[in-house]
């Protein structure tokens, strides 16, 4: 059988991964909308606080093992299909994860009461934190075996896994919120999460039965120091990154009432949902570990062009349609989320770029640099959050939300600049050669057209959906006129009929 080229492999797996990412983001987005509307701002704020704590604990339990699987399993399989070495790597990573997870869960159970009653002064989150440990355990195991499956680079079943997980998550959570009394609704959601992860885990294990020799069987000695170094740097980077992403929520919870935390999380969820549709990073990591420098440069250029072409107009559209988007998606109860959403809209551009540059650095084992600058960015984020929130809270809670949004955006721009600079010097990835200016010009014309359209015709949020396809047509029309894109490139964005 003819060996598949790197380009074809990336294309085929990117299509499956993009489809899976679409399902995941739609599922996550639908879930957020439904839960936000059912819980209303106050309970949604408390739920978001517990989720932030759980995510930090989950990253601690991961200890870099998920990326470690995507890194070391494909490399082992490439070495004359060395499945014994691949199995030995996986079993070692599983052992590390099990040990770290046990420690983290024990610590979280011990700290649940002090966190709820003393630190955050919100007793209502005590029981949800305890039950979140079930969510951490089941999701951590699901992710471990999911990444093993992804590392095999046969992704046709990945959309099915994603559908099972998110559909179960949505249905079980809705049932919990509807049936349980107010004081147990948040706890019920985390139990629902656990059951959904368990269902997905069972299905993944069924899919892996043909490759059970990667899990079961004799193992041999492996180069643990190299793996440990990778895990140490990456786990530190991942932990810092999740704290980075959760710091605004954690700090706001000390200054504002839960309902304002709910407004902020609603805005942040919407801003981060959009760039998720451009995600192909899980596919890139195992493939980038095997490509040469020339292939890396060419593929990176194409990916960056694609991401910027879509993310810049998406951010511009979200800015000018922030109020309508909030009303349509979350309802009038969340209208106060509009101000922070306008600021956070820039994350639509920075988030996929940070994810891309991080994937390159992970694939090339530059995890020490990645960890260092994520830490610096996180410290900057903490400092800016404290300064801006503590100062702007004097003007009112909405101003505090805007301060947190500014801190988040600024620190992520700093991180993006550092990672892009490193990839430029170390791997000759040249984002400055992209026609970014033309993307911005076309997006500005689109935004102005939408603003004028809104002034001339006062549509309700639902009828206002017509502005999205109109904006897309204007954007690509202007881009064609100024030669920022070709007709063939636009056709390539459409799904293939084959």
- Residues 172-211 pLDDT 10s: 999 999 999 999 999 999 999 999 999 999 999 888 888 7
Among residues 418, 434, 450, the one where a domain terminates is 434
Of 86-90, 234-238, 281-285, which has the strongest mean pLDDT? 86-90
Q: Is the pLDDT reported for residue 445 higher than 60?
A: yes
Q: Give tens-digit pLDDT for 310-367.
A: 889 999 999 998 998 898 899 899 999 999 999 999 999 998 888 888 877 777 767 7
Lowest mean pLDDT segment, chosen from 39-48, 119-128, 242-251, 390-399: 242-251
pLDDT at residue number 335 = 94
Among residues 402, 419, 434, the one where a domain terminates is 434
Whether residue 221 sits in one domain with residue 154: yes
Contact (CB, 8 A) for 387 and 326? no
Q: Is the pLDDT reported for residue 474 higher than 80?
A: yes
Among residues 380, 403, 434, the one where a domain terminates is 434
Lowest mean pLDDT segment, chosen from 9-13, 353-357, 406-410, 491-495: 491-495
Whether residue 475 sits in one domain with residue 334: no
- How many domains is the chain partitioned into structurally? 2
Whether residue 482 sits in one domain with residue 407: no
pLDDT tier for residue 1 given thresholds of 50, 70 and 90: very low
Q: Is the pLDDT reported for residue 373 higher than 80?
A: yes
Whether residue 456 sits in one domain with residue 409: no
Q: What is the mean pLDDT of the chain?
A: 82
Compute the distance between CA of residue 253 and CA of residue 266 in angstroms, rounded to an integer. Answer: 14
Whether residue 32 sits in one domain with residue 55: yes
pLDDT, average across residues 140-159: 81
pLDDT tier for residue 495 given thresholds of 50, 70 and 90: very low
pLDDT tier for residue 431 given thresholds of 50, 70 and 90: low
Q: Is the pLDDT reported for residue 105 higher than 90?
A: yes
Whether residue 199 sits in one domain with residue 152: yes
Whether residue 443 sits in one domain with residue 359: no
Quick one: CA torsion of 415, 421, 426, 429, rounded to 10 degrees?
Answer: 110
pLDDT at residue number 50 = 95
Whether residue 459 sits in one domain with residue 410: no
Domain residue limits at 448: 435-498
pLDDT at residue number 285 = 47
Percent of the chain with pLDDT over 70: 80
Whether residue 92 sits in one domain with residue 164: yes
In a domain? residue 495? yes
Query: Which residues have CB under 8 Å from 240's CB, separation 6+?
Result: 371, 374, 375, 378
pLDDT at residue number 216 = 79
pLDDT tier for residue 498 given thresholds of 50, 70 and 90: very low
In a domain? residue 1? no
Whether residue 252 sits in one domain with residue 182: yes
């Amino acid at each position: 059988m003819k060996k598949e080229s790197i380009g074809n492999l990336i294309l085929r797996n990117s299509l499956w991964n993009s489809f899976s990412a679409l399902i995941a983001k739609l599922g996550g987005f639908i879930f957020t909308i439904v839960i936000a509307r059912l819980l209303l701002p106050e309970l949604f704020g408390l739920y978001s606080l517990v989720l932030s704590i759980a995510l930090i604990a989950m990253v601690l339990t991961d200890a870099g093992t998920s990326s470690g699987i995507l890194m070391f399993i494909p490399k082992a399989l490439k070495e004359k299909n060395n499945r014994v070495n691949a199995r030995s790597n996986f079993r070692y990573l599983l052992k590390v994860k099990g040990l770290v997870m046990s420690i983290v869960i024990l610590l979280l159970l011990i700290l649940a009461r002090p966190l709820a009653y003393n630190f955050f002064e919100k007793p209502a989150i005590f029981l949800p934190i305890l039950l979140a440990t079930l969510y951490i355990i089941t999701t951590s195991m699901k992710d471990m075996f999911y990444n093993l499956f992804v590392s095999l680079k046969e992704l046709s079943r990945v959309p099915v896994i994603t559908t099972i997980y998110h559909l179960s998550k949505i249905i079980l959570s809705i049932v919990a919120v509807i049936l349980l009394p107010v004081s147990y609704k948040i706890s019920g959601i985390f139990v629902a999460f656990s059951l959904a992860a368990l269902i997905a885990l069972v299905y993944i294990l069924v899919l892996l039965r043909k490759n059970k020799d990667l899990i079961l069987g004799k193992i041999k000695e492996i180069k643990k120091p190299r793996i440990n170094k990778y895990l140490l740097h990456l786990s530190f980077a991942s932990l810092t990154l999740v704290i980075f992403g959760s710091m605004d929520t954690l700090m706001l919870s000390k200054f504002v009432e839960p309902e304002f935390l709910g407004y902020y999380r609603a805005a942040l969820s919407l801003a981060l949902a959009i760039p998720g549709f451009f995600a192909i990073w899980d596919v890139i990591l195992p493939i980038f570990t095997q490509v040469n420098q020339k292939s890396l440069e060419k593929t990176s250029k194409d990916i960056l062009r694609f991401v910027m072409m879509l993310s810049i107009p998406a951010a511009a559209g979200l800015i000018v349609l922030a109020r309508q988007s909030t009303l349509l998606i979350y309802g009038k109860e969340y209208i106060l989320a509009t101000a922070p959403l306008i600021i956070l809209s820039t994350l639509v551009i920075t988030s996929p770029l940070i994810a891309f540059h991080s994937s390159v650095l992970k694939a090339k084992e530059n995890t020490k640099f990645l960890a260092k600058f994520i830490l610096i960015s996180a410290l900057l984020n903490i400092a800016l959050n404290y300064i801006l929130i503590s100062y702007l809270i004097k003007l009112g809670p909405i101003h505090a939300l805007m301060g947190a949004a500014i801190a988040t955006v600024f620190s992520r721009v700093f991180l993006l600049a550092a990672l892009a600079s490193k990839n430029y010097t170390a791997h000759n990835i040249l984002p400055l050669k992209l026609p970014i200016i033309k993307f911005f010009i076309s997006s500005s014309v689109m935004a102005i057209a939408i603003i004028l359209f809104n002034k001339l015709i006062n549509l309700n949020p639902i009828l206002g959906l017509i502005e999205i396809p109109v904006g897309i047509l204007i954007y690509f029309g202007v881009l064609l006129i100024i030669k920022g894109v070709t007709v063939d490139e636009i056709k390539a964005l459409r799904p293939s009929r084959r």
